[in-house]
Amino acid sequence: MKSKKYSIGSDEVSFEFDGGNLVGIVKNGSPVDPNSDDFASFKDSDESLEAFNIGVYGKPNVVDSVDTANIEVLNDNYTKASKKKANAEAAAAAIGASNQPVAPNAGRESNPRFLQAAKRPQYATFPPQQLTYPVDMDKDQDYLSIKIHEYKRREVDQSYSSSEKAVDPKGAFKNEICLPMPVVKDSNAAQWGESTISATSIGLMRRTANLGARAGATSGLDMEVSDRDLGGGDGGGNDWGKVKRDQLLNVATKLGGMTVSEFMARSRGQIENPNAELLFKGPVIRDFGFSFSMVARSAREGEEIRKIIRQLKIAAAPARNSSSLLTTPDIFWLRYMRGNQELETVNRMTDMALSSINVNYSPGGFWNSYEDSQPIAVDMQLSFTELRPIYKEDQENDSFATDSVGY
């Protein structure tokens, strides 16, 4: 790829990189001989270092030296560039140069996106198509597929497992976005919490469970608590006998709003056994976060990056029906893919909502753009949340490969 033009002295200089190395320098539209003093001078300049960091790493101030290709590569590149000097602009486009504006209609004076607000609807929606970054990504490599669908509410309760009932919230397909594989990780959890119960409640539960078997016997439901139930045991010489817990609580309340345990602690040095246990409280709906750094290497790629960002913003926003009603935003089906096959080596995901999209147009900490103000690099963070929990039936899905990691 080729850098933007830099003014060095009275010359306009650009730098060409390939495979993480400097492979060529162009001065005033002409290639510079790699064996010349000009080449050595430009290579060691601050502008060369900035262009190298941006071209290779997507942002400035990453490394403090420029990696240069060997002399054979430099000479070969110079020879080819010299033969095409007569058609330098066409050659620059062919090798991904950015001498032409990265965004269409360069310059705000002629750009309809800035001056013709009436034409903006053409940018608001896109026909069903596949948006891809990078634009030349090989589909036979691993990648993340994000399909956007209209949200359909088919039942009041849609929290079914995949094998229990087919309730698909995906409506009409709208678009697909393909991005490089992000950092891949998943977290499956369940809510567990502490639960306590008094001896009196345990006794009541046991007696209530046997209520049907007693066929109307009510004498066992007097809710009286023995000294053993209160933790007194058989020893200690303090025979409390049988007291009603409600009466004991009434006494404790009159003595300053104490609980039964506080009353017993002050009077006997004992408390009620809380019979604490860890009990299952419910499933946890999973969240997924992804980060992408996108560098515009050509006019087409700059346009594709803008379309991807805009499409995600449109899909994540609710539609206003009236002053009293809003329509649910679109939903997303994310899959890790290779070609047309979903990967079995990483987790799968169910339908999700895009809860937030954050875009940083100056990831280096300051504004850095091409001649027409297209940002050179853009960082994008996406936060998704699944629409329902993952159940055991989902993990046991027979359609998965036997060595799949599941959801």
Q: Are residues 182 and 90 in the same domain?
A: no
Residue 210 lies in a domain: yes
Q: Are residues 245 and 375 in the same domain?
A: no
Residue 107 lies in a domain: no
Among candidates 272, 237, 244, which has minimal Cα distance to 258?
272
Q: Are residues 26 and 72 in the same domain?
A: yes
Residue 162 lies in a domain: yes
Among candidates 11, 356, 259, 289, which has minimal Cα distance to 144?
289
Q: Are residues 242 and 320 in the same domain?
A: no
Average pLDDT over residues 30-57: 88
Q: Are residues 248 and 316 in the same domain?
A: no
Question: Over the stretch 194-213, which tens digit does the pLDDT of each residue have?
Answer: 999 887 788 788 777 666 55
Q: Are residues 318 and 377 in the same domain?
A: yes
Residue 145 pLDDT greater than 90, yes or no: yes
Reported as a pLDDT band with limits 50, 70 and 90, residue 304 is very high
Residue 374 lies in a domain: yes
Residue 248 lies in a domain: yes
Last residue of a domain, one of 217, 252, 275: 275
Average pLDDT over residues 283-311: 93
Range of the domain at 77: 6-94
Average pLDDT over residues 82-92: 54
Among candidates 247, 243, 272, which has minimal Cα distance to 255?
247
Reported as a pLDDT band with limits 50, 70 and 90, residue 347 is very high
Average pLDDT over residues 151-165: 72
Report long-range pairs for 39-45 (Cβ below 8 Å, ≥24 apart): 42/8, 42/13, 42/15, 43/68, 45/6, 45/8, 45/13
Residue 241 lies in a domain: yes
SS3 118: helix
Reported as a pLDDT band with limits 50, 70 and 90, residue 237 is very low
Residue in the block written with tokens 């539609």: 319
Q: Are residues 130 and 204 in the same domain?
A: no
Last residue of a domain, one of 275, 301, 332: 275
H-helix segments, 17-139:
37-43, 46-57, 71-83, 88-94, 112-115, 121-124
Which has more pLDDT, 70 or 90? 70
Q: Are residues 121 and 141 in the same domain?
A: yes
Give one DSSP letter per residue of 318-377, joined into a string. PEE-SSS-EEPPPEEEEEEEETTEE-SSS-----EEEEEEEEES-TTSS--B-TTS-BSE
| The pair of three-digit structure tokens given for residue 332, joined into one six-digit string | 């997303």
Contact 371, 101 (CB under 8 A): yes
Q: Are residues 165 and 305 in the same domain?
A: yes
Question: Over the stretch 109-139, which tens digit does the pLDDT of each residue have?
Answer: 444 443 443 343 443 343 446 899 998 888 8
Residue 363 lies in a domain: yes
Reported as a pLDDT band with limits 50, 70 and 90, residue 223 is very low
Residue 311 pLDDT greater than 60, yes or no: yes
The total of structural domains in the chain comes to: 3
Contact 25, 31 (CB under 8 A): yes
The pLDDT score that the predictor gives to residue 60 is: 82
Last residue of a domain, one of 41, 65, 94: 94
Phi, psi (rounded to 5 degrees) for 118 = -65, -25
Q: Are residues 355 and 213 in the same domain?
A: no
Other beta carbons within 10 Å of 14: 22
Residue 405 lies in a domain: no
Residue 341 pLDDT greater than 60, yes or no: yes
Q: Are residues 291 and 231 in the same domain?
A: no
Q: Are residues 262 and 202 in the same domain?
A: yes
Q: Are strands 170-180 and 130-132 parallel, antiparallel or unpaired?
A: parallel
